Structure 1
Amino acid sequence: MNVSTCFVLLCAVFIVSCKGGKPIKPNFDSRVAQDALSQLGAVLYFDVNLSKNRNQSCATCHNPQKGFIDDRDNGVFGAVSLGSDTQSLGDRNAPTASYAALNPRFHKNSKGHYVGGQFHDGRESTLAGQAGGPPLNPIEMGMESKQAVAARINENAFYVDKFKQLFGADVLTNEELLYDAMTQSIMAFEKTEVFMPFDSKYDRVLRGEETFTSQEELGKTLFFSQQFTNCNACHQLNKSPFYSRETFTNYRYENIGVPVNRFVREKNGMFDKKDAGLLLNPQVDDHQERGKFRVPTLRNVAVTGPYMHNGVFQDLRTVIEFYDRFNNKSRRINPETNELWESPEWPKTVNLTELEKGPALTDQKIDALVAFLNTLTDKKFEPLIH
């Protein structure tokens, strides 16, 4: 099903759900109101008219048919996104929107570690905050102001009717309120099972519906064992590997020594820039946080490459070899470039304490880890696994 078809169907679903157009009071604790809100959010999510040149929507960079990532090439092998102006390139890879609703709000935990938030640097605490970013970003959707977005909403009779029903007539004449209502609606959509169905093979095995192959079972054992790998130091949230809603991230921030994506920097002109990561979050001023990025979920990781915050690696197996090089002297060569691994962008804050834990991995064990990570793919995306 293509995006246009999804848009039409979602509009139809929304209209039917409003039961003949009867107003729904803005009490979003109500299941009916939540459903109506999320269905409005679904229509907004696919609406290209909310971008400057009417050519880009949320779904453009977070495609629901492709693991909620930007699956376009963009002239950079998909590493970063292209803006509405068809010229501007970002400097970070668009993270998957799947399971993003489960990110905790950005905060510092009892151990002094920053946790949670949206975007790679956690600068927005909620999905609504995240949804409000791209429309006004000049190198993304490129709208000039909230007033300009409000004007696009008000030119659409469908939106006028639905926002009035859900939020009251006054929302349409106040761009701040209307913009907030738009982001709240998109957030409601992103909280639905469409984004987090928990129906991967891993989930089905936990429910006793399927079994792992011997290779997948080996990969699972390696992944959850601190004796053989350090994967779960960052990619396991709960103590038990059998927790049914494991998101495979502790939501903390780490510098794992990712090199600059020189190809992207040559294309976007940011030759003299360094991405300070977490330090760019307005709530963070400690220079020891430079170069740290939020640990991503591994759900759907097999189909959401390129990898790392800057899309520097194309293949999932390369990522595991990159980690293994810290403990394996034989892994000196990046298999994608056939050259030595490049130096970290921020060498002084690399977390060698965690990275240098664990023994070297054989090719067989790396293959097993890849096989296990494939099982974290939502059922609808399984055909995308290479």
Structure 2
Amino acid sequence: MTARTDEGEAQATHTWSRLITVALLIGSLAATIPQAFARDCAPAPDGGNPCPVTLIRPPVVPLSAMAKLGKALFFDKALSGSGQLSCASCHVPSAHYAPDNALAFARGGVAMDKFGVRAVPSLTYRERQPPFSVGPDNATSETAPPPPSPPSAKGVKSASNTGVSAQAMVPQGGLFWDGRADTLQSQAAGPLFDPREMAATRTGIAARLRHAPYSADLFRLMGAHASDDMLIAEALFALARYQIEAPVFHPYSSRYDAWLEGQIRLTRDEAEGLRLFNDPSKGNCAACHLSMVDEEGRPPLFTDHQYEALAAPRNPLAPKGSYDLGLCAAGRADIGHTEAYCGFFRTPSLRNSATRKVFFHNGTFTSLRQVMDFYELRDIEPSQFYPRQADGTLLLNDDLPRRYWGNIDKTDTPFGPRKSPSLTPEEREKIIVFLGTLTDGQAPQRK
């Protein structure tokens, strides 16, 4: 048997997703399509959803033999060079497969004396992550538009007018903060072999795979005479299948999911937070963090999978002497070192964001309130976020070389020159309250 390739994983994932969608749509097409295209569904005065939908979720089915093997691998610390780290050490199940600590950079290495260089993302909701591409901005395919923008917001990117600029070619998709991997199989290899993280070697992993408690399961799938390279490729493929198949990685069990289906009412502050989140002249959050079901009736992922340069302040704990340039330095052969992408990082999902303890690619913020304040005040009161130099001048955009400052988003609300923030402090708090509805495990038991 030959080892799985990245292309094989992508094809398997595509086939799995298509089968799920077709099977579910056949039974509920007539009832679901009109609901999935519901427009202007703001919360009712009582917090209810005036146009509930039937969400199309992945079916809960028994894990394949490959996914079961992936689960065993996911929790195996012996795969790491130190013998102390598994995938689950940083992607903690009880923390929605994100870190359960406030470290900006995870500890790793053979002697556990090194640190990664970026904040660890969550592994949830990767089953719908598209591969990297540069193509038309099609964010409207996963969002219903909020109320029309007022004249003052004309020309601003928002969930309601993104389609107007559909010819704009934008980077999107991919895994990691910089989009350097296209599949979960290749993504899994990143931290596994990084000397600052799991610090494994191919020789060490192959030896472990041949003598682990799950080795018999692996050889049943691969055959008794598989080479080391084949074993490693199959192990990475198994890790990918576990993340794609296991419902724990994509439960869609938040209060917001329940609200979309009309099962609960939002509180007054939650409902107001949702309105502000969607309003292109206020939070404008839904311009990038899509908040409505897509055309197939699937729950929103709260990301458009695209990239932005937001000029997050440098984390003092980051390695000194270099800049993290993001997408332009990802080493992708298809875009090379495109300077227009320097400073770009992938827009993360906001699902389970209320339980995170660090934010942005460099972990520079430690609360959602800090994040909201940065969005609102970056261009109004930059001294709150950037350091001063020895001569007292402000060191703006201190984690991006000046020649790339033109890449920074200064046009989309709430950024850009303005006399006052688009959101009051109280309104920012209401958006944070709304973000709490995106935490999984809070929805009523589905029948």
TM-score bracket for this pair, using the shorter chain length = 0.7 to 0.9
Work out whether 1:163 is the aligned partner of 2:189: no
Kindly provide the amino acid, as one letter, of the partner of residue 357 in structure 2: G
CA contact (8 A) 2:129 2:174 kept: yes
- Tell me how far apart the structure 2 counterparts of residues 44 and 293 of structure 1 sit (CA, whole Å): 29
Report 1:236-255 matches (<5 A).
236=290, 244-255=298-309
CA contact (8 A) 1:303 1:381 kept: no
CA contact (8 A) 1:38 1:189 kept: yes
CA contact (8 A) 1:136 1:142 kept: yes
1:372 to 434, 438, 446: 434
1:222–1:206 CA distance, 2 compared to 1 (3 A): same
Report 1:128-167 matches (<5 A).
128-144=185-201, 146-156=202-212, 158-167=213-222
Report 1:55-204 matches (<5 A).
55-72=84-101, 77-84=102-109, 85-110=111-136, 111-144=168-201, 146-156=202-212, 158-171=213-226, 174-191=227-244, 192-204=246-258
Q: What is aligned with 1:22?
A: none
- Tell me how far apart the structure 2 counterparts of residues 243 and 366 of structure 1 sit (CA, whole Å): 29
CA contact (8 A) 1:206 1:244 kept: no
1:314 to 351, 366, 374: 366
CA contact (8 A) 2:175 2:182 kept: yes
Stretches of structure 1 lacking an aligned partner (at least 5 in a row): 1-26
Q: Which secondary structure state, in structure 2, belongs to the residue aligned with residue 109 of structure 1?
A: strand
- Tell me how far apart the structure 2 counterparts of residues 60 and 381 of structure 1 sit (CA, whole Å): 27
Q: Which secondary structure state, in structure 2, belongs to the residue aligned with residue 308 of structure 1?
A: coil
Kindly provide the amino acid, as one letter, of the partner of residue 345 in structure 2: F
Report 1:352-371 matches (<5 A).
352-355=410-413, 356=415, 360-371=422-433
- Tell me how far apart the structure 1 counterparts of residues 63 and 209 of structure 2 sit (CA, whole Å): 20
What percent of counterpart residues are identical? Answer: 30
- Tell me how far apart the structure 1 counterparts of residues 330 and 120 of structure 2 sit (CA, whole Å): 17
After superposition, the CA RMSD in angstroms is: 2.8
The offset of 1:261, in angstroms, is 0.2
| Higher RCO (C-alpha 8 Å, min separation 6) | 2
CA contact (8 A) 1:321 1:331 kept: no
TM-score after normalising by structure 2: 0.70
- Tell me how far apart the structure 1 counterparts of residues 358 and 134 of structure 2 sit (CA, whole Å): 29
Q: Which secondary structure state, in structure 1, belongs to the residue aligned with residue 205 of structure 2?
A: helix
CA contact (8 A) 1:237 1:250 kept: no
Q: What is aligned with 1:260?
A: 314
- Tell me how far apart the structure 2 counterparts of residues 238 and 209 of structure 1 sit (CA, whole Å): 16
CA contact (8 A) 1:288 1:349 kept: yes
Work out whether 1:38 is the aligned partner of 2:100: no
The offset of 1:180, in angstroms, is 1.1
CA contact (8 A) 1:248 1:298 kept: yes
- Tell me how far apart the structure 1 counterparts of residues 382 and 323 of structure 2 sit (CA, whole Å): 26
CA contact (8 A) 2:290 2:301 kept: yes
- Tell me how far apart the structure 2 counterparts of residues 233 and 258 of structure 1 sit (CA, whole Å): 19
Kindly provide the amino acid, as one letter, of the partner of residue 116 in structure 1: G
Kindly provide the amino acid, as one letter, of the partner of residue 180 in structure 1: A
- Tell me how far apart the structure 2 counterparts of residues 351 and 373 of structure 1 sit (CA, whole Å): 23
The offset of 1:99, in angstroms, is 0.8
- Tell me how far apart the structure 2 counterparts of residues 87 and 126 of structure 1 sit (CA, whole Å): 29
Q: What is aligned with 2:354?
A: 302
TM-score after normalising by structure 1: 0.81
Kindly provide the amino acid, as one letter, of the partner of residue 153 in structure 1: L
- Tell me how far apart the structure 1 counterparts of residues 431 and 383 of structure 2 sit (CA, whole Å): 20
Q: What is aligned with 1:333?
A: 384
Stretches of structure 2 lacking an aligned partner (at least 5 in a row): 1-11, 17-59, 137-167, 387-392
Report 1:281-292 matches (<5 A).
281-283=330-332, 284=335, 285-292=337-344
CA contact (8 A) 1:219 1:370 kept: yes
